[in-house]
Homo-oligomer: A and B are copies of this chain.
Amino acid sequence: MADAAGAAPRRKPVKITKDNVSDLMAQVDAFVLDCDGVIWTPLATGMYPKAEEALDRLRGAGKKVMFVSNNSFHPPQEKFKLMGYPVSEDEVVVPSTVIARYLKKRGFEGQALVLASETFKRTLQDQGIDVVQRTAEDHPEKIIEFLRLVGKDAGKVKAVIVDFDLYLTGLDLVKAANYLREDPECLFFACATECNIPVGGKICLGPGYWTEIVERASGRKAQWVGKPAPMMVTEFLKDAHQLDMARSIFVGDSLEQDMGIANNCGMKKLLVLTGMTAIEDLETCDPNLIPDYYIDSVADLGRLLPKA
């Protein structure tokens, strides 16, 4: 390798302190926050200490506060409610609500094959979308009978949606692959990206596996909705909430998902260190994911702001 002496120096994020917090506040109208690792830990039953105060102080300073999460299974508004800090549904963006909105806005007709949780399906149904029902089918051993089951909804399904689905079946995957293969107009959305998800000492299998299989078997590429894809921000925050991206900041703990979506949408980037990223990770990460600012925790951000 050539000597790196001539290379441009690696950009460094600015730590937010009492000396520069007012500069930041002057530049930003909206704080868009991830939740897992920022407001709470994934399995927690309460928010991080002083996270509530931080949100209150941001609001008190006249800032718009929004939450963007890949978790359509337990959407943040439910968790906030359980934790005694209710937020409006309008302040929360998850893939299921964005897809529901997207389909409704475009007058979607036809059925949706949804490899996801019942919560996810209800979100679509609440918007009038016809979701293919999974029935307790007979399990004939003859392939011809299996193909009859696969063919049952063929031609009617105009959208395939893949997310976290505990009870997915091989039949679902075969249906998804064939409908997408046979109908280039059939939409194909993928939400969360995880493959191996550790939960309660076990490994659960995430939607990353299912999306990959459906892509390989259908020859189609999914349209990603979850972070770091920009769809949740462009379809919702920008379009429905008219946020000015240049005056919005994404607050997250993950480089790839959170700093990634901010980077993909032209938002400012604020990293908190209460989740999956350590400050040392910035020395080796993709330079596009280096945040503009960092701070130890959301609580610390609150502490720097005046009381609401």
A interface vs B, CB < 8 Å?
A: 117-119, 136, 139, 141, 143-144, 146-147, 150-151, 165-171, 173-174, 177-178, 181, 195-196, 199-200, 202-205, 209, 213, 216-218
Contact = CB atoms under 8 A, between A and B. Distances in A.
Contact of A216 (B119, B168, B181, B196): B196
Nearest to A150: B202
Copies of the polypeptide in the assembly: 2
Contacts of A141: 117-119, 166
A174 B202 CA distance: 9
The 7 closest A-B pairs by CB, nearest first: A168-B170, A139-B167, A146-B166, A169-B169, A178-B202, A147-B200, A196-B217
A100 to B, nearest CB: 18
Contact of A203 (B171, B200, B209, B217): B217
8 contacts: A117-B141, A139-B166, A144-B200, A166-B171, A167-B170, A169-B169, A170-B205, A181-B203
A289 B100 CA distance: 53
Nearest to A168: B170
Contacts of A143: 166, 199-200, 204
A195 B217 contact: yes
Contacts of A167: 139, 169-171
